[in-house]
Amino acid sequence: MFLRCTKRKKCGKEHRYWTVVENKRVGGGRVVQRHVLYLGEINDSQQKAWRKSIEIFEDGQTRPTTVALFPDERLGPIDDQSIVRVRLDGMQLRRPRQWGAGWLAGQLYEQLELDRFWAQRLPPNRKGTPWDLILQTLVSYRWIAPGSEWRLHRDWFERSAMADLLGGDFGLAEIHKLYECLDLLLPHKTALFDHLTGRWKDLFNAKFDVLLYDLTSSYFESAPPFPEKDKRRFGHSRDKRSDCVQVVIALIVTPEGFPLAYEVLPGHTSDKSTLRNFLQKIEKQYGKAGRIWVMDRGIPTEEVLAEMRASVPPVSSLVGTPKGRLTKLEKKLTALPWQRARDGVEVKLLADEGEVYVLAQSRDRIGKERGMRRRQLKWLWQRLQELQAMTLTRDQLLIKLGAAQHQAPSAWRLVKVTVPTAEKKTKKKPKAKAQADAEAKTEIQTEVGVKFEFVLRKDKLRAVRQRAGRYLLRTNLSRSDPAPLWEFYIQLTHVEEAFKDLKGDLALRPFHHQLEERIEAHILVAFLAYGLHVTLGRRLRDLAPGLTPRSVWEKFSAVQMIDVHLPTNDGREVILTRYTQPETELQMLLRSLKLGLPAQPPPKITAAPMPAN
């Protein structure tokens, strides 16, 4: 690396701008220069009359001192004590750390006014511990590079610029303070929900009249047993980790993806037992209103749906139905005409027993499901032909057939496979043992070269093709326009996206805590990080459509912060803390998001060396 000087004449004066440049060798033996750091105009002009004055802070002092910087090789002796001569040949770049993503997280945090919210509820203790800043560090860490609190303390904090951004020091990442901060969060969960819904209404005019409700599970790699009322229990694992205990998380989001509330339930909780309590909780917190609850099949029971219809005012619902209900109503639905809901989507409406059933079919969904089934069936058919040509024992054949069934479960239901039954023979025993045993034991005879047959179940294939891309919904809404009903149900994918973000980008699982209160606090921190995530996504939808929050995070992560150390002629060091200049694409993104980077931090200078005795 080296310093490159750029001269520019402005208003009749010559200005010099300095940049840190790195030579990089590329293909073909060429050498290109990479712009590493822009230092700006830190030197004087060629004449002594011009000075570049900057504010510096000496170690141990709270008030700035105005001095001027001159390169040591450019000037002769100067008696003015306010002038500091620097030696450019001794320049060093130290402590590179990630700055851009942390700064973006702070901007989103401030837009949601979470800094004010938590400053009021988490004041410093008598030792001066800034709990609100520690929480902001936890939330930013969960959004940028999620992991355990120990990793934050041991590794991540020093490689990030969070101390610079929050005006703190390593005390923000003290391991015991990180855990103690989690212990302070749960009493404010309800107030946090109210605050976030209010901010999203103010920022984006968000509506909360349509609510999407779904559940997921998250597992622990810890060994039971646990206390009797502990929420960590074995249950149906959506993560396919039935060997681990888990908790169930119920989440409500809007069609735009804004989370309204969540609840942590025991790991063995049944889906159909959760809705009644959640309805009461939302009604108590936000009051009675004409909301529409959109859910997948398996969550509401007939009893709860009847209670929703009988409530005052009635609670509207839109629910998916099991395939058995479609079979029951198939004759009535066949006689009805299709109605166009939108391009490529057709629906049928059937009023039955005080409810409206909506049969929807999507042209794109039909093509997708048929294509998936065709690929599976083609692979399975080819695999069965390969197995038929092999010479296998019956046990080996059954193992390979089981593997094929696991690989293509949907196609397996459309094929009838016939395997010969095992032949049995009675094993004769010596006369003495035959008298002792009342019954003779049998032994399975294993043969080599067992053949099997398979045929296509055309009746099942025909039925599956007819139902491809179709799904039956039920609702107590009395709307004549079927298009909104179909749109509401399709928006259930937003809940699935929320779970995907929580478990993927925000690394909600596995949990690293052992105390139940800290487990729930860990989920609350992830909920806050998801709030930043969905806020950024909503801004991108308006200002930079097509970009995802993760792609924007990657662009901002490229901005680093570096300490530039410039030795002076009197044994001190001028320290310039600078973040790197954003690349062209990031500058365009900043303009699109209407964001402006802050001014560079003020330089510092070390204290003068002590005179030798």
User: How confident is the model over 406-416, as pLDDT tens digits?
Assistant: 999 989 999 99
248: Cβ contacts below 8 Å, ≥ 6 apart: 215, 216, 217, 235, 264, 265, 266, 267, 269, 274
Q: Give per-residue burial for 140-154: e unless 16+ CB within 10 Å, then b.
A: bbbbbbbebbeebbe
Segment 315-337 shows an average pLDDT of 81
Residue 214 has pLDDT above 80, yes or no: yes
Residue 81's pLDDT band (boundaries 50, 70, 90)?
A: low
Residue 29's pLDDT band (boundaries 50, 70, 90)?
A: low
pLDDT at position 44 is: 46
Q: Please state, in angstroms and rounded to a whole number, the distance separating the CA atoms of residues 120 and 132.
A: 9
Residue 34's pLDDT band (boundaries 50, 70, 90)?
A: low
Residue 556's pLDDT band (boundaries 50, 70, 90)?
A: very high
Residue 589's pLDDT band (boundaries 50, 70, 90)?
A: confident
**Which token pair is 136?**
């902001």
* Contact of 151 with 177, CB cutoff 8 Å: no
pLDDT at position 480 is: 58
pLDDT at position 438 is: 45
Residue 120 has pLDDT above 80, yes or no: yes
pLDDT at position 50 is: 27
* Contact of 275 with 243, CB cutoff 8 Å: no
Segment 305-318 shows an average pLDDT of 81
Residue 37 has pLDDT above 80, yes or no: no
Q: Is the peptide bond before 225 cis (omega within 30 degrees of 0)?
A: yes
pLDDT at position 559 is: 92
Percent pLDDT > 70 in the chain is 80
For the chain, what's the residue count?
613
Q: Which residues lie across from 348 on neighbouring strands?
A: 359
Residue 39's pLDDT band (boundaries 50, 70, 90)?
A: low
Residue 444 has pLDDT above 50, yes or no: no
Percent pLDDT > 90 in the chain is 20
* Contact of 316 with 293, CB cutoff 8 Å: yes
Residue 342 has pLDDT above 80, yes or no: no
Residue 580 has pLDDT above 70, yes or no: yes
pLDDT at position 45 is: 41
Lowest pLDDT segment from 58-62, 177-181, 466-470, 521-525: 58-62
| φ, ψ for residue 120, nearest 5 deg | -75, -30
pLDDT 10s digits, 490-506: 777 777 777 777 777 77
Segment 54-66 shows an average pLDDT of 46
Residue 445's pLDDT band (boundaries 50, 70, 90)?
A: very low
157: Cβ contacts below 8 Å, ≥ 6 apart: 137, 141, 163, 170, 172, 173
pLDDT at position 51 is: 32
Lowest pLDDT segment from 248-257, 493-502, 583-592: 493-502
pLDDT 10s digits, 283-298: 887 777 778 888 888 8
Residue 185's pLDDT band (boundaries 50, 70, 90)?
A: very high
pLDDT at position 536 is: 92
Residue 610 has pLDDT above 70, yes or no: no
Lowest pLDDT segment from 233-237, 258-262, 497-501, 579-583: 497-501
pLDDT at position 296 is: 83
The 8-class DSSP code of residue 449 comes to S
Residue 465 has pLDDT above 70, yes or no: yes
Residue 278's pLDDT band (boundaries 50, 70, 90)?
A: confident
Instruction: Compare 218 and 196 and report the one with higher pLDDT.
Output: 196
Q: What is the mean pLDDT of the chain?
A: 79
Identify which of 483, 497, 539 has the alpha carbon closest to the alpha carbon of residue 253. 497
Q: Is 481 helix (H, G, I), strand (E, B) or coil?
A: coil
Q: Is 607 helix (H, G, I), strand (E, B) or coil?
A: coil
Residue 482 has pLDDT above 80, yes or no: no
Lowest pLDDT segment from 55-59, 105-109, 323-327, 425-429: 55-59
Instruction: Compare 525 and 23 and report the one with higher pLDDT.
Output: 525
Residue 117 has pLDDT above 70, yes or no: yes
